[in-house]
Structure 1
Amino acid sequence: MPIIAFVNQKGGCAKSTTSVHLAYWLTYKKKKNVLVIDADAQRSSSVWLASLEADIPFEVLQTPDDLLEQIPLLAARYEYLVVDAPAGLAEACRAILFRADLAIVPCQPTGIDLKSASDAVRIIRQAQSVRGGAPAAAIFLSRAVRGTRLLDEAIALLTKTNIPVLKTVIHQKQVIADTFGQSKVVWNLLGKSATESANEFDRLFKEIMRMLK
């Protein structure tokens, strides 16, 4: 019953997109029993999951006390918990990090996003200090433009955080941006771009699963 949390103080970095896609991948590609916890005030992941034809359960939990108390109880009932953490690094985010087994930081290759990721790493380090090592943590680049100098520079900067940077990069594609509005995930869509994005998510999630072993 691993608990995987997607954490970053900045909105729009792909926390909800990755949470929903991971939940779908675990449920339909790996045949696992999964619950998504939506802790973000915008409730993007729960609205998205409710609109999918796929049957993926979710809970909306947003206060620090609810997160601290309910996450262990829910984890006992499911094979995986996927937590879409709130934007900002408030107490709710810290509560999630006190319960998570693995914290993943999505980061776009821009200056403001790199700073935001560094702030997320800081509170992850604080949680690791309190908990004696947990949660494990990693960063991955999202919404990246292929072949740009900025992408290469971002990878170089992130390696200095002393938290692993996952090899898989999720590149910016319109098909990913369209998934929420179409009540789909990339595996439900046709075309070369959807297939390429689905393959990237597949590689990313396999990397994430290896961190849990």
Structure 2
Amino acid sequence: MAIISLVNQKGGVSKSTTSVHLAYWLVVKQKKTVLLVDADSQRSSSQWVEGMEGVTIPCKVIQTPDDLLEQIPTLAADYDYVIVDGPASLSEATRAILFRSDLAVIPVQPTGVDLRSASDAMRLVKQAQSVRGGLPNVCIFLSRAVKGTKLKDEAIALLSQIQEAKLLKTVIHQKQAIADTSGQSATVWDFSGKPANDSANEYDKLFKEVMSWV
């Protein structure tokens, strides 16, 4: 079993989108057993997977720090992977999640506010690593980027300087196909057309990188 969390205090950075797509990829593409834990008060990911057709992804809503600390290890024993969609805050709930995670994944948008929030998330990760003697491993990836922009290049350069975390090579670019997935309780693999196919290929590459750090 392995516990992978998506964390960042900033909302709208693709935590829920990445959590759902990663869970789907593991279940459908890798034939693994997966539990999705929704720790966000908006319950985006749990409502998303509950509306999916043709695939069942078990999901549990757990939001209090004590419940996260107590329940995640017990639940993880029954699955190959637990994916935790973290809250949009650096709260005690986020701290509890990091104390139970094998890998923390931090999605970051190429904006100044998001880059600063990634540094704040890294602070919590390092605190957990200090207490736990190394875990969780941590990696960062750039999400919702626009190809050919200076912002994207600058963000990659800045994130590359964070020595404590691995910046993944794969970038998830902004696409309408991705934006449409949550409202339709779907993933990019369910859509046709080149934009959806391009995004599916990006997610496939990203998740292969993520799994190499578990």
Shorter-chain-normalised TM-score: which range? over 0.9
SS at match of 1:160: coil
Unaligned runs of 5+ in 1: none
- Give the whole-Å Cα distance in 2 for the aligned partners of 1:76 and 1:133: 21
Instruction: Verify the 8 A CA contact 1:121 1:161 in the aligned structure 2.
Output: no
- Give the whole-Å Cα distance in 2 for the aligned partners of 1:174 and 1:32: 28
Displacement of 1:147 in angstroms is 1.0
- Give the whole-Å Cα distance in 2 for the aligned partners of 1:51 and 1:132: 40
* Per-residue deviation, residues 88-124 of structure 1 (Å, max 9, x unmatched): 1010000000000000000000000000111001110
The percent of aligned pairs where both chains have the same amino acid is 67
Which consecutive segments of 4 or more residues in structure 1 shift more than 3 A? none
Is 2:197 aligned against 1:195?
A: yes
| Residue equivalent to 1:11 | 11
Is 2:43 aligned against 1:39?
A: no
| Residue equivalent to 2:126 | 125
Displacement of 1:161 in angstroms is 1.7
Larger deviation: 197-206 or 158-167?
Answer: 158-167
- Give the whole-Å Cα distance in 1 for the aligned partners of 2:158 and 2:185: 35
| Residue equivalent to 2:206 | 204
SS at match of 1:161: coil
1:127-146 pair list within 5 angstroms: 127-146=128-147
Displacement of 1:26 in angstroms is 0.2
Displacement of 1:74 in angstroms is 0.4
| Residue equivalent to 1:29 | 29
Instruction: Verify the 8 A CA contact 1:46 1:59 in the aligned structure 2.
Output: yes
- Give the whole-Å Cα distance in 1 for the aligned partners of 2:5 and 2:100: 9
| Residue equivalent to 1:90 | 91
- Give the whole-Å Cα distance in 1 for the aligned partners of 2:77 and 2:184: 33
**In the alignment, residue 17 of structure 1 is paired with which amino acid?**
T
1:22-171 pair list within 5 angstroms: 22-53=22-53, 54-162=55-163, 163-171=165-173
**In the alignment, residue 132 of structure 1 is paired with which amino acid?**
G
Displacement of 1:182 in angstroms is 1.4
Is 2:145 aligned against 1:174?
A: no
Aligned residues: 212
- Give the whole-Å Cα distance in 2 for the aligned partners of 1:183 and 1:122: 34
SS at match of 2:178: helix
| Residue equivalent to 2:187 | 185
- Give the whole-Å Cα distance in 2 for the aligned partners of 1:159 and 1:190: 34
Displacement of 1:183 in angstroms is 1.5
Unaligned runs of 5+ in 2: none
SS at match of 2:160: helix
**In the alignment, residue 173 of structure 2 is paired with which amino acid?**
H
TM-score (norm 1): 0.99
- Give the whole-Å Cα distance in 2 for the aligned partners of 1:147 and 1:135: 33
Displacement of 1:159 in angstroms is 1.5
TM-score (norm 2): 0.98
* Per-residue deviation, residues 155-195 of structure 1 (Å, max 9, x unmatched): 11111221110000000000000001112100000000000
- Give the whole-Å Cα distance in 2 for the aligned partners of 1:118 and 1:68: 24
**In the alignment, residue 200 of structure 1 is paired with which amino acid?**
E
